[in-house]
């Protein structure tokens, strides 16, 4: 897969090299993700003086893009420390970004920061697990916490692919159905999140969508669903063979496709 040469491509390359044979295609797609992290950055108006919080920073790929393309100072917050955060931090060092990014273990619904700390809060696919980890109502808490730790006039930008509106065809609908039924992962509707944002002191709410155009063939879909089945960190263990039994025929008929990415951005009122 094409990649712009540079430190981040070195990190990506290391990921691909470490991926078991046969899984490369799926890993490459996740790491590069149809360039949707760059699309997200293009939607934001970040200045190099901004202090930015990345909610659900995971393996760090959005944080790397944020730090390298904007020059901003970034904090990556994730519920999981341990191996995942270690990998993110090592990737940051490899990309020459260790001074630009701090990695913090913590819950986005109880953010371990003082009020009015950040200019911008961004999240890329960071909140799809919030229902699993925090139960119903967790997303509302994340929005309220974001309002608290943002400065006045600061920006909140949440980009995710598990809003009900993220399915525009049968392959995307199937992907979301599997996440919802098997993992209990689904974000509230766009309108309900907009209402929560308005109730938490946000205004100028805007939305945008991006289609990563990632369509999985049957073999790739099996790998993808195996990865989803290994949701151990969140206390779930699914049997891939049972999942394939339930959905394999439909995957063969409609294909499995990554859902659309929906971005909701808003400004904290002054
Ligand atoms: C799909 S990954 C994130 C991807 C990452 N933003 C990227 O660009 O590659 C989702 C991450 O959200 C984290 N997460 C889930 N619930 C969270 C919460 N309540 N607070 C902070 N992080 C959370 C998970 O631990 C996981 O690492």
Walking along the chain (270 residues) 10 residues at a time, the average pLDDT comes out as 62 74 69 82 92 95 91 94 92 93 96 98 89 79 97 97 95 95 87 96 98 90 86 70 94 94 96
Q: What are phi and psi of 161, to 5 degrees?
A: -120, 15
Classify residue 2: in a domain, yes or no: no
Q: What is the pLDDT of residue 130?
A: 80
**Best of 36, 58, 186 for a ligand 1 pocket test (most atoms within 8 Å of beta carbon):** 58
Task: Tell me the residue range of the domain where 62 lies.
Answer: 7-268
Classify residue 75: in a domain, yes or no: yes
Q: What is the pLDDT of residue 140?
A: 93
Q: What is the pLDDT of residue 25?
A: 66
Ligand 1 interacting residues, C-beta cut-off 6 A: 37, 56-59, 61-62, 77-80, 107-109, 124-126, 129-130, 133-134
Q: What is the pLDDT of residue 232?
A: 56
Classify residue 258: in a domain, yes or no: yes
What is the 248 CA–ligand 1 centroid distance (Å)?
28
Residue (of 111, 136, 135, 137) closest to 123 by Cα position: 111
What is the 14 CA–ligand 1 centroid distance (Å)?
21
Q: What is the pLDDT of residue 69?
A: 85
Q: What is the pLDDT of residue 231?
A: 63
Q: What is the pLDDT of residue 3?
A: 52
Classify residue 136: in a domain, yes or no: yes
pTM of the complete model beyond 0.85:
yes
Q: What is the pLDDT of residue 235?
A: 66
Q: What is the pLDDT of residue 32?
A: 67
What is the 55 CA–ligand 1 centroid distance (Å)?
7
Residue appearing with tokens 């930015």: 52
- Count of domains for the chain: 1
Q: What is the pLDDT of residue 2?
A: 44
Spatial separation of the C-alpha atoms in residues 159 and 162, rounded to whole Å: 9
Neighbours of 229 (CB within 10 A): 20
Classify residue 1: in a domain, yes or no: no
Classify residue 76: in a domain, yes or no: yes
Which DSSP letter does residue 239 get? -
CATH of the domain at 253: 3.40.50.150
Long-range contacts of residues 220-228, Cβ cutoff 8 Å, at least 24 apart: 220/25, 220/26, 220/256, 221/251, 221/255, 221/256, 222/248, 223/22, 223/23, 223/26, 224/26, 224/256, 225/178, 225/256, 227/26, 228/178, 228/179, 228/182, 228/183
Buried b (16+ CB within 10 A) or exposed e, 65-76: bbbbebebbbbb
């Amino acid at each position: 897969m094409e990649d712009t040469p540079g430190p981040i491509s070195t990190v990506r390359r290391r990921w691909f090299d470490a991926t078991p044979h046969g899984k490369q295609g799926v890993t490459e797609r996740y790491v590069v993700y149809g360039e949707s992290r760059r699309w997200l950055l293009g939607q934001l108006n970040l200045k190099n003086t901004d202090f930015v919080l990345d909610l659900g920073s995971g393996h760090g790929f959005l944080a790397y893009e944020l730090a390298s393309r904007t020059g901003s100072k970034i904090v990556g917050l994730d519920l999981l420390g341990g191996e995942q955060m270690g990998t993110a931090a090592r990737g940051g060092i490899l990309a020459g970004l260790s001074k630009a990014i701090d990695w913090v273990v913590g819950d986005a619904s109880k953010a371990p920061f003082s009020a009015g700390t950040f200019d911008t809060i961004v999240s890329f696919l960071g909140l799809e697990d919030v229902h699993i980890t925090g139960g119903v109502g967790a997303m509302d808490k994340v929005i309220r916490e974001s309002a608290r730790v943002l400065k006045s006039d600061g920006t909140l930008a949440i980009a995710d692919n598990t809003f009900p509106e993220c399915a525009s065809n049968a392959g995307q609908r199937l992907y979301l159905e599997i996440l919802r039924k098997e993992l209990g992962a689904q974000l509230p509707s766009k309108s309900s999140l907009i209402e929560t944002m308005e109730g938490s002191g946000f205004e100028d709410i805007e939305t945008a969508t991006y289609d990563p155009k990632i369509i999985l063939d049957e073999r790739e879909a099996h790998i993808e669903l195996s990865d989803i089945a290994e949701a151990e960190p969140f206390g779930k263990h699914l049997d891939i063979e049972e999942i394939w039994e339930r959905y394999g025929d439909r995957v063969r008929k409609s294909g499995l496709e990554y859902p659309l990415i929906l971005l909701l951005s808003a400004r904290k009122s002054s």
